[in-house]
Amino acid sequence: MAERVHTIVELSCPTPLRANDTVLLGHGSGGKLSAELIRAVFLPALNNPVLSRLDDQAIVNVNGQRLAFTTDSFVVKPLFFPGGDIGSLAVHGTINDLAMGGAKPLFLSAAFIIEEGFAMDQLRRIVASMQQAASAADVQIVTGDTKVVEKGKGDGLFINTTGIGIVADGVDLSADRARPGDKVLLSGSIGEHGIAILAQREGLEFETTIESDSAALHTLVTEMLRVGRGIRCMRDPTRGGLSSALNEIAEQSKVGIALEERAIPVREEVASACELLGLDPMYVANEGKLIAIVEPASADAVLHAMRRHPLGSRAQLIGTVNAANPPLVTMRTTLGTTRIVDMLSGDQLPRIC
Amino acid sequence: MKYLSEYRDERIARALAAEIAERTTSPWVLMEICGGQTHTIMRYGLDELLPPGLELVHGPGCPVCVTPLETIDAAIELALRPEVILVSYGDMLRVPGSRSDLFRAKAQGAEVRVVYSPMEALKIAREHPSRKVVFLAIGFETTAPANAMAAWQAKQEGLTNFSLLVSHVLVPPAIRGLLASPANRVQAFIAPGHVCTIMGCAEYEALVRDFNVPIVVGGFEPIDLLQAVLMLVKQLEAGEAKLENQYVRSVSYQGNLPAQQVMAQVFEVADQKWRGLGSIPGSGLRLREEFAAYDATRVFSLHDISVEEPAECISAQVLQGLKKPTDCSAFGTRCTPESPMGAPMVSSEGACAAYYRYRRRAVAS
């Protein structure tokens, strides 16, 4: 026995499997594999100065008017979930991508890829929900497209929305603008959308229903921009969660970010669900939250403006941008120790024990 | 969170850390067996709270990490058969076999489903009578009772389209192997609380006696682990070797007897290959003869293939606590969670992945 265990020290492990021969689900997770896909496939083929900023929206200049322009596809399953459905999500998601550039959203397009056999009354419900979300947000859906694919060749319904908005003079938000000393603000508690979807999908029931936080954030952004020009960049931490959004900012601005774990709000039922499922709320998707990097002198005023808005009532200062170890995101844990907060790698999988 | 926040309390943690530091007069090497414990240590930076001479090394207790290449290759082979639905715990999908992994098999058209319980696999089998449902039954003594129950239930129902691809490992024989190795440097162990919840403590008493080594059954929260470390340090400093139970809120001396019963009914102890460690006698479970009809290796006549693990990474030393993940020249560069060289980089409970995720440059700087 002793000899056997001793000799096995010489054995080791297999050669790496590079993730570049086929597209995997993880390439759509919003984490590291997604970033790799963009770097390895899309950027080399399509690169230009606007695209290479890798913000949630492109800001282009048309006859002296700055326009924000963005697109997003929605493949959520199930189509209906507590707190929303694929239709309202498709409207909110694109509005938010525009708003993160400081733009006032104006017009959306909507494209539907529908699987043959999809129930007409479900489609009606979804379209009505889109209209409701759009009018509540004061944007119009002004153009669209429909394609139907054979049964079995789609998963019910996919929606793509594209949006344009205008950016006011003097507003210049971009993920490469964070500087050491800046403050990191978060508009509210994290993880609700991802857990709402997962709970629905897995048939999990908790004492209270966890609702998606899906919401249009542009009016919150307007209030924030009103109090000052000290906002450097904003992101809505959707797929990949808070950790991935912060890692993207750290990387693009070539800075470090130090977070305070205690300051990050997580609702009790979301925290419990995450414990049960072996997930970390830092990596779980949000659809109605934003992070803002704000210069130190404006941080208080912006934070208070956020808290006055219903979608920012639980806003918190969660960390500070620094010059140490860029582009590392670190966190002071509840025990006062320090750990790394890495970007989501592949899909966040449940642990088994 | 109710019943949980008290085990993550900063003041209690600081007080325990101070007492550990006060009691520690010479350097000691402690090993936590379970990957869940490693994860907590890294996630909460517990090693930062310990005095310099006190070293925590990380054991082989990540079931995903030690599942042999042959089992992964067999799972992929089965998954690619059109009649098969392969059902697995989520962690296993990213684990590289010798050529591919289950995610890639899925991208090639294999039907691979992720579940939280083998009972869900049974449900899939009932719902798809024309397909063959194979459950990848891996894990330590923690998952064995539920996996045994699935086989037992399938037999009760007379299901003919359900089988288990079994790769079960047992903790005590592995600790015995580590202690018997001349290269061993571990002086005390934190035994895995969840495994002991099922199996009780008796097997660990034998290890304490045979090797004169202190063992404390520990939980998985930061306060649990700091308490377990303190209990071990007290023993080591006093020159004692006892079995103690820190995780009393979950572990009883005799364990969960009905769970042990169903395990014994369905499984028998067998030699088992551990990825990175090789074969360890009596360290695994296989289905008993009465359950042969539910054994995927027999149902599909899988050949007993043997795959050589190419010499590249140092996971064997890591799994035995001989080296730290950061001692590996490939760590964080050629070997990352996105392109893992070795299994400990794959599961979030693997020591290398836990270091990479929470500590890598903080440790380096």
End-to-end CA distance of chain B: 34
In a domain, A30, yes or no: no
Residue A92 sits in the same domain as residue A139: yes
Q: What is the structure's pLDDT at B73?
A: 93
Cα–Cα distances in angstroms (integers) from residue B221 to residues A283, A333, B2, B344, B364, in the given order: 20, 14, 14, 21, 26
Q: What is the mean pLDDT of residues B86-112?
A: 89
- Parallel, antiparallel, or unpaired for β A157-167 and A291-294? unpaired
Which one of A6, A12, A32 has the shortest CB-CB distance to B314? A12
CB contact under 8 A, A339 and B362: yes
Contacts of B10 in chain A (CB under 8 A): 334-336
Q: What is the structure's pLDDT at A31?
A: 75
Is residue B114 classed as helix, strand or coil in its secondary structure? strand
pLDDT at B311 over 50: yes
Contacts of A21 in chain B (CB under 8 A): 104
Cα–Cα distances in angstroms (integers) from residue B347 to residues A185, A324, B67, B90, in the given order: 32, 29, 11, 10
Which one of A13, A36, A334 has the shortest CB-CB distance to B342? A13
Domain boundary among A167, A200, A217: A167
Query: What long-range pairs does A316-319 form, CB within 8 A, spacing at least 24?
Result: A316/A185, A316/A186, A316/A263, A316/A264, A316/A265, A317/A183, A317/A184, A317/A185, A317/A263, A318/A184, A318/A185, A318/A186, A318/A259, A318/A260, A318/A263, A318/A264, A318/A291, A319/A183, A319/A184, A319/A257, A319/A258, A319/A259, A319/A260, A319/A263
Domain boundary among A108, A142, A167: A167
pLDDT at A21 over 90: no
Which one of A21, A340, A352 has the shortest CB-CB distance to B358? A340
Domain with CATH 3.40.50.11740 in chain B: 1-314
Taking CA B281 as the corner, what is the angle to CA B275 and CA B286, rounded to the nearest 5 degrees?
A: 80
How far, in Å, CA of B334 to CA of A336, rounded? Answer: 32
Candidate from A286-290, B195-199, B272-276, B285-289 with smallest mean pLDDT: B272-276
Name the β-bridge partners of A291: A186, A235
Show the tokens assigned to B122. 């049974």
In a domain, A210, yes or no: yes
Is A17 within 8 Å of chain B by CB?
yes
Report the domain count for chain A. Answer: 2
Residue A211 sits in the same domain as residue A295: yes
Residue of B nearest to A273 (CA): B1
Q: What is the mean pLDDT of residues B334-352?
A: 79
Cα–Cα distances in angstroms (integers) from residue A345 to residues A171, B35, B36, B92, B356, in the given order: 33, 19, 19, 15, 11
Is B91 within 8 Å of chain A by CB?
yes
Residue A324 sits in the same domain as residue A202: yes
CB contact under 8 A, B341 and A13: yes
State pLDDT tens for residues A143-181: 999 999 999 998 899 999 999 999 999 999 999 999 999
Average pLDDT, chain A: 89
CB contact under 8 A, B342 and A14: yes
A-proximal residues of B, 153-182, CB under 8 Å: 176-178, 180-182
In a domain, A131, yes or no: yes
Residue A208 sits in the same domain as residue A160: no
Calculate what percentage of chain B has a pLDDT beyond 90.
67
B-proximal residues of A, 31-50, CB under 8 Å: 32-33, 36
Nearest C-alpha of chain A: how many angstroms from B138? Answer: 10
Q: Which of A322, A329, A342, A325 is closest to B365 using CA atoms? A: A325
Contacts of A340 in chain B (CB under 8 A): 357-362
Residue A201 sits in the same domain as residue A323: yes
Is B37 within 8 Å of chain A by CB?
no
Is B28 within 8 Å of chain A by CB?
no
Name the β-bridge partners of B278: B274
Nearest C-alpha of chain A: how many angstroms from B139? Answer: 8
CB contact under 8 A, B358 and A11: no
Q: Is the ipTM of this complex over 0.85?
A: no
Cα–Cα distances in angstroms (integers) from residue A55 to residues A108, B8, B162, B187, in the given order: 19, 37, 49, 52
Is B67 within 8 Å of chain A by CB?
no
Residue A93 sits in the same domain as residue A121: yes
Is A120 within 8 Å of chain B by CB?
no
- In this structure, which amino acid lies at residue B263? M
pLDDT band of A111, cuts 50, 70, 90? very high
How far, in Å, CA of B210 to CA of A327, rounded? Answer: 50
Nearest C-alpha of chain B: how many angstroms from A63? Answer: 44
CB contact under 8 A, B315 and A335: no
* Sequential DSSP letters for A164-216: EEEE-TT----TT---TT-EEEE-S--SHHHHHHHHHHHT---SSPPPP----
CATH number, domain at A294? 3.90.650.10
Residue A97 sits in the same domain as residue A187: no
State pLDDT tens for residues B197-235: 999 999 999 999 999 999 999 999 999 999 999 999 999
CB atoms within 10 A of CB A324: 13
As to burial, measured by CB atoms within 10 angstroms (0-12 exposed, 13-18 middle, 19+ buried), residue A120 is exposed
Which one of A9, A22, A36 has the shortest CB-CB distance to B107? A22
Is B240 within 8 Å of chain A by CB?
no
Which one of A2, A16, A346 has the shortest CB-CB distance to B341? A16
How far, in Å, CA of A78 to CA of A68, rounded? Answer: 30
How far, in Å, CA of A276 to CA of B261, rounded? Answer: 26
* Sequential DSSP letters for A283-326: GS--SS--EEEE-HHHHHHHHHHHHHSGGGTT-EEEEEEESSST
Q: Which of B15, B20, B71, B13 is closest to B40 using CA atoms? A: B13
Which one of B100, B101, B140 has the shortest CB-CB distance to A353? B140
How far, in Å, CA of A193 to CA of A198, rounded? Answer: 9
Q: What is the mean pLDDT of residues A234-256?
A: 94
Average pLDDT, chain B: 91
State pLDDT tens for residues A193-210: 999 998 888 777 776 789
Q: What is the structure's pLDDT at A12?
A: 31
CB contact under 8 A, A340 and B309: no
Which one of B14, B43, B114 has the shortest CB-CB distance to A339? B43
Which fold does the domain B1-314 belong to in CATH?
Rossmann fold (3.40.50)
Nearest C-alpha of chain B: how many angstroms from A233? Answer: 26
Residue A190 sits in the same domain as residue A160: no
Is residue A221 classed as helix, strand or coil in its secondary structure? helix
Residue pointed to by tokens 């007897």: B257
Q: What is the structure's pLDDT at A28?
A: 81
pLDDT band of B2, cuts 50, 70, 90? low
Domain extent, residue A201, equals 183-340
Q: What is the structure's pLDDT at B304?
A: 67
How far, in Å, CA of B210 to CA of A333, rounded? Answer: 40
In a domain, A268, yes or no: yes
Which strands form A231-235's sheet, in the order they lie side by side? A231-235, A291-294, A183-186, A316-322, A256-260, A329-332, A338-340
Contacts of A325 in chain B (CB under 8 A): 361, 365
Nearest C-alpha of chain B: how many angstroms from A319? Answer: 17
Signed CA dihedral, B87, B263, B63, A32: sign only: positive
Q: Are A293 and A233 in contact (CB under 8 A)?
A: yes
- Parallel, antiparallel, or unpaired for β A256-260 and A316-322? antiparallel
C-alpha of B207 from chain center: 19
Q: Are B293 and B323 in contact (CB under 8 A)?
A: no
Cα–Cα distances in angstroms (integers) from residue A209 to residues A79, A198, A331, in the given order: 17, 12, 30
State pLDDT tens for residues B105-148: 998 999 999 998 899 999 999 999 999 999 999 999 999 999 99
Show the tokens assigned to A249. 């900012």
In a domain, A117, yes or no: yes
State pLDDT tens for residues A31-90: 778 888 898 899 999 999 999 888 889 999 999 999 999 999 999 988 999 999 999 999
Is B59 within 8 Å of chain A by CB?
no
- In this structure, which amino acid lies at residue B255? G
Q: Are A274 and A201 in contact (CB under 8 A)?
A: no
Residue A219 sits in the same domain as residue A336: yes
CB contact under 8 A, A352 and B94: no
How far, in Å, CA of A216 to CA of A341, rounded? Answer: 27
Q: Which of A93, A95, A309 is closest to A220 using CA atoms? A: A309
Is residue B87 classed as helix, strand or coil in its secondary structure? strand
Name the β-bridge partners of A81: A84
Q: What is the structure's pLDDT at B127?
A: 97
CB contact under 8 A, A5 and B312: no
Residue A116 sits in the same domain as residue A240: no
CB contact under 8 A, A336 and B69: no
CB pairs under 8 A between A and B: 197
Is A152 within 8 Å of chain B by CB?
no
CATH number, domain at A113? 3.30.1330.10
Q: What letter does residue B333 receive in the DSSP assignment?
A: T
Which one of B45, B342, B358 has the shortest CB-CB distance to A12? B342
